[in-house]
C-alpha cells in the first residue's frame, strides 16, 4: 500500500494531494498492464475505473462503420485515461487501445464515487483535477476542429 501511495504521489495527476486522501485513493488501486494493440475498453462499456498511465501510450478512438477507427487523442506517461466513471450513466464514450506496452494504476471508480460522497474534500479534489483534464481535452478538441495547420488557419 505504501508503495502505491508513493507512486500516486509522484504521478502528476495527484501532485500536491494530501497524504490522507492519497491513502484513501491507494486503497482503490491496482496495477495493470496492457500489451501493444490490446483493447482497454470499448465505447458503451461500463466505466467503472480510470487509469493513471505510468508508462506506454494509449489511443483514444472513435469508431464509425464507414471509416473504421479514428484516433482522436493519445495519452502517455503522466497522463490520465477515462473520466466517464464520474458522470452518469457511467458508460465509456470512446474506445481505448494500447499502442505499445503500457503499465498503469487502475482506480476503482465505483468505490471512489462512494468515498467521495462520504468525504467531500476527496470529491472536490477529484473533480478539480478531472475538470482540468476535461478543459484541456476540450481546448485541444477546439484546436483540432479549427484545423490550425490548414489552408484557412
Partner 1 sequence: MKATTKDVSMTIPHLVQRFTKETHDTFTLELVPPAGNTEFSFNAGQFNMLYLYGVGEVPISISGDPDDGSKIVHTVRAYGAVTSRMMALTKEDWIGIRGPFGNHWPIEKFTGYDILLAAGGIGVAPLRPVLYYILSQREKYGRVTLLYGERTPVDLIYRSQIEKWRGRFDLEIFVTVDSARERWRGDVGVVTTLIPKARIDPANTLALLCGPEMMMYYTIKELSKEGVSDDRMYISMERNMKCGCGFCGHCQVGPKFVCRDGPVFLFKEFKHLFWKREM
**3 binds partner 1 per the rule CB under 8 A:** no
What is the CA angle 127-133-134, rounded to 5? 85
Touching partner 1, residues 9-48 (CB under 8 A)? none
Q: Which residues contact 107 (CB under 8 A, 6 or more apart)?
A: 25, 28, 29, 49, 50, 51, 52
Nearer to partner 1, 20 or 74 (CB): 74
Does 132 bind partner 1 (CB under 8 A)? Our answer is: no
Distance between CA 32 and CA 65 in Å, rounded? 30
Is there binding between residue 135 and partner 1 (CB under 8 A)?
Answer: no
Among 73, 101, 110, 113, binds partner 1 (CB under 8 A): 73
Contact pick of 27, 32, 57, 127 for partner 1 (by CB under 8 A): 57
* Comparison of 19 and 74: residue with beta carbon closer to partner 1: 74
CA angle 90, 126, 103 (to 5 degrees): 75
Report d(CA 111, CA 133) in Å as an integer. 21
Question: Considering only residues 70, 118, 135, 138, which one is a binding residue for partner 1 as defined by CB under 8 A?
Answer: 70
Residues 126, 134: Cα–Cα separation, whole Å = 12
Which residues of this chain interact with partner 1, rule CB under 8 A?
Answer: 57, 59, 61, 68-74, 76, 78, 97, 99-100, 140, 143-144, 146-151, 153
Amino acid at each position: 500500500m505504501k508503495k502505491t501511495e508513493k507512486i500516486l504521489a509522484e504521478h502528476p495527476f495527484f501532485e500536491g494531494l494530501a497524504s490522507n486522501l492519497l491513502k484513501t485513493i491507494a486503497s482503490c488501486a491496482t496495477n495493470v498492464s496492457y500489451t501493444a494493440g490490446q483493447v482497454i475498453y470499448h465505447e458503451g462499456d461500463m466505466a467503472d475505473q480510470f487509469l493513471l498511465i505510468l508508462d506506454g501510450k494509449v489511443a483514444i478512438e472513435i469508431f464509425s462503420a464507414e471509416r473504421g477507427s479514428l484516433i482522436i487523442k493519445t495519452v502517455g506517461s503522466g497522463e490520465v485515461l477515462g473520466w466517464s466513471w464520474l458522470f452518469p450513466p457511467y458508460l465509456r464514450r470512446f474506445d481505448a487501445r494500447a499502442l505499445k506496452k503500457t503499465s498503469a494504476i487502475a482506480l476503482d471508480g465505483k468505490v471512489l464515487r462512494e468515498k467521495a460522497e462520504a468525504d467531500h474534500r476527496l470529491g472536490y479534489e477529484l473533480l478539480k483535477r478531472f475538470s482540468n483534464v476535461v478543459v484541456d481535452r476540450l481546448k485541444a478538441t477546439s484546436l483540432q476542429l479549427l484545423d490550425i495547420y490548414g489552408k484557412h488557419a
